Amino acid sequence: MNGARSRIILYLAVILSPLLVVAAFHLKTDDVFYYNLGRGFALLAFAILVVQVVLAARLHWVEAPFGLNLTFPFHRRMGTVAALLLILHPLLMALGGGGWHLLYGLNVKWYIIIAKVALLLLLIHVGLSLWRARLGIRYENWRLAHDIIGPLVVVLVFVHSWNASKDFTVRPLQVLWLVFLGGALLLFGYHRLLRPLLLRRHLYRVEEVHEECPRVWTIKFAPPPGEKRFDFLPGQFQFVTLFRGRGLPVEEHHFTISSSPSEPGYHASTIKESGDFTTAIGQTRAGDTAAIHAPFGRFSYVFYPQSRDLVFIAGGIGITPLMSNLRHMRDTQAERRVLLLYSNKTESSIVFREELSRMEEDGESRPELQVVHVLSRPEEAWPGEKGHLDREKLARLCGERLGTASFFLCCPPPFIHSLVANLRDLAVPDSRIHFEYFSL
């Protein structure tokens, strides 16, 4: 946790730094409280916007203690906070004597117009990010808009504050602002332009494409000739850009690694055709190449060495990170007892069924695995569990494990919410519940 704490302290120090510089070098003004509060909000908002790039740039040093599953939502939340501060900024300044024409007047200084444009763009930016799925916007289109509007807002806010505020007659604040702007643009350039180019110089090769079950494909990747495969932990994920030609799209998407790091020389992702980009995943062929940025994520039993008793709950293709964990336990003969509750619609949609059976039946070997399949739309003859994995089933199937086991959930978000609520209801403390959403 020390790594996490140091990064949180650093984050707070950076976003508060403009206020500290003002306090140290330009404290006294003739303005009233609300006017000064509005100014302070704008300084904070700019600092938050600048650090947004750091949160989104997938820097291992930044995200490793938390995982991208936390840093990306934090990025979204702080973006909303910055937008709220920038909405309050002109309101407070108007209230503090700046005049309400600041808000609605068109006959204002050019840098006020710039601020209005920046605020409008920021509101669109935040709205698109919060409601992308609801608005039916494709991920790739949203990402393109995000990459254009984000840096543009930072530049516009910089130009506005530099010209509008008396605080920027103070040299230390000028220096801080230039460092902020320069740092943000350089990091953005690295993240979106330079790093993708560097990754393309070390392309992985698709070694094998295998259909696990209808519409679910495992793609095996081999490292570039003469290079070692990157190291990863079971349950982690990767960002993959496939270069397949044949008119197929070249887009970067994240996929869980379903193989175990203990399997040398390659790694694999198991991907379901589920709309958008993945619809054509089965058209990937051996010999295609891929730029890979990895590993990410903390959905791994190895982070919890004290947890000997585990309950894995998978919904559909959510089995993939759990399979990576199970394979790693098998290959390292990890002393773990695992109950896997695996929910699917039908028997034919169960992925890795035979391998799971083999692991379960090998009583001598580790982990000590028990698999319970739960089907929501089974055939008449299905002898196993039917319906949804509700509170009653959780209580019955987990039994005494509710009091001891660590729970790892990977399913679609509504399923996770219901599972977490039910587990809490069954007195499982939050400290023993770990989950991963399908999407970031």
Partner 1 sequence: MEFRMLNRVTALAIVICLAAAVALAYLRSV
Rounded to the nearest 10°, the torsion over CA 3, 22, 47, 165 is 180
User: In angstroms, what is the minimal distance from the CB of 40 to partner 1?
Assistant: 4
Residue 29 is a binding residue for partner 1 (CB under 8 A) = yes
Measure the CA–CA gap between 260 and 270, rounded to whole angstroms. 12
Measure the CA–CA gap between 440 and 437, rounded to whole angstroms. 7
User: In angstroms, what is the minimal distance from the CB of 167 to partner 1?
Assistant: 10
User: In angstroms, what is the minimal distance from the CB of 163 to partner 1?
Assistant: 20
Token pair recorded at residue 256 = 């869980």
Phi, psi of 235 (to 5 degrees): 90, 0
CB contact burial 406-428 (16+ within 10 A = b; e otherwise): bbbbbbeeebbeebbebbeeeeb
Nearer to partner 1, 69 or 270 (CB): 69
Nearer to partner 1, 364 or 430 (CB): 430
Measure the CA–CA gap between 42 and 37, rounded to whole angstroms. 9
Residues 36-55 that bind partner 1 (CB under 8 A): 36-37, 39-41, 44, 48
DSSP classification of residue 406: E
Residue 111 is a binding residue for partner 1 (CB under 8 A) = no
User: In angstroms, what is the minimal distance from the CB of 173 to partner 1?
Assistant: 13
Binding to partner 1 by CB under 8 A, coded x per residue (else -) over 421-440, reads ---------xx-xxx-----
Half-sphere exposure of 163 (CA within 13 A, CB side): 13
Nearer to partner 1, 43 or 242 (CB): 43
Residue 175 is a binding residue for partner 1 (CB under 8 A) = no
Q: Between β-strands 337-344 and 309-315, what pairing exists: parallel, antiparallel or unpaired?
A: parallel
Member of 11, 162, 168, 304 binding partner 1 (CB under 8 A): 11
Member of 16, 103, 145, 395 binding partner 1 (CB under 8 A): 16
| Triad 200, 236, 303: Cα angle to 5° | 140
User: In angstroms, what is the minimal distance from the CB of 93 to partner 1?
Assistant: 11
Nearer to partner 1, 81 or 187 (CB): 81
User: In angstroms, what is the minimal distance from the CB of 31 to partner 1?
Assistant: 7
Member of 244, 267, 298, 373 binding partner 1 (CB under 8 A): 298
Residue 33 is a binding residue for partner 1 (CB under 8 A) = yes
Which helix (H) or strand (E) segment holds residue 252: the answer is strand 252-256
Q: Which residue has the tokens 């569990």?
A: 385
Q: How far is CA 194 from CA 49, 124, 125, 312, in A?
A: 21, 27, 24, 39
Nearer to partner 1, 310 or 350 (CB): 310
Residue 74 is a binding residue for partner 1 (CB under 8 A) = yes
Nearer to partner 1, 277 or 408 (CB): 408
Residue 420 is a binding residue for partner 1 (CB under 8 A) = yes
Residue 27 is a binding residue for partner 1 (CB under 8 A) = yes
Residue 10 is a binding residue for partner 1 (CB under 8 A) = no
Token pair recorded at residue 184 = 């943000």
Q: Are 365 and 358 in contact (CB under 8 A)?
A: no
User: In angstroms, what is the minimal distance from the CB of 430 to partner 1?
Assistant: 4
Measure the CA–CA gap between 202 and 195, rounded to whole angstroms. 11
Member of 46, 67, 206, 313 binding partner 1 (CB under 8 A): 67
CB contact burial 73-103 (16+ within 10 A = b; e otherwise): eebbebbeebbebbebbbbbbbbbebeeebe
Nearer to partner 1, 62 or 292 (CB): 62
Cis link prior to 367 (omega < 30° from 0)?
yes
Residue 66 is a binding residue for partner 1 (CB under 8 A) = yes
In the beta sheet, which residues pair with residue 209?
219
Member of 49, 56, 68, 78 binding partner 1 (CB under 8 A): 78
Single out the segment in contact with partner 1 by CB under 8 A; choices: 64-72, 141-149, 178-186, 215-223: 64-72
User: In angstroms, what is the minimal distance from the CB of 43 to partner 1?
Assistant: 8
Residue 34 is a binding residue for partner 1 (CB under 8 A) = yes
**How many chain residues are in contact with partner 1, going by CB under 8 A?**
40
Question: Residue 16's CB: how many other CB atoms inside 10 A?
Answer: 14
Which helix (H) or strand (E) segment holds residue 291: the answer is strand 289-296
Residue 349 is a binding residue for partner 1 (CB under 8 A) = no
Summarize as ranges the residues that interact with partner 1 (CB under 8 A).
4, 8, 11-12, 15-16, 19, 22-23, 27-29, 31-34, 36-37, 39-41, 44, 48, 66-67, 69-70, 73-74, 77-78, 81, 85, 298, 420, 430-431, 433-435
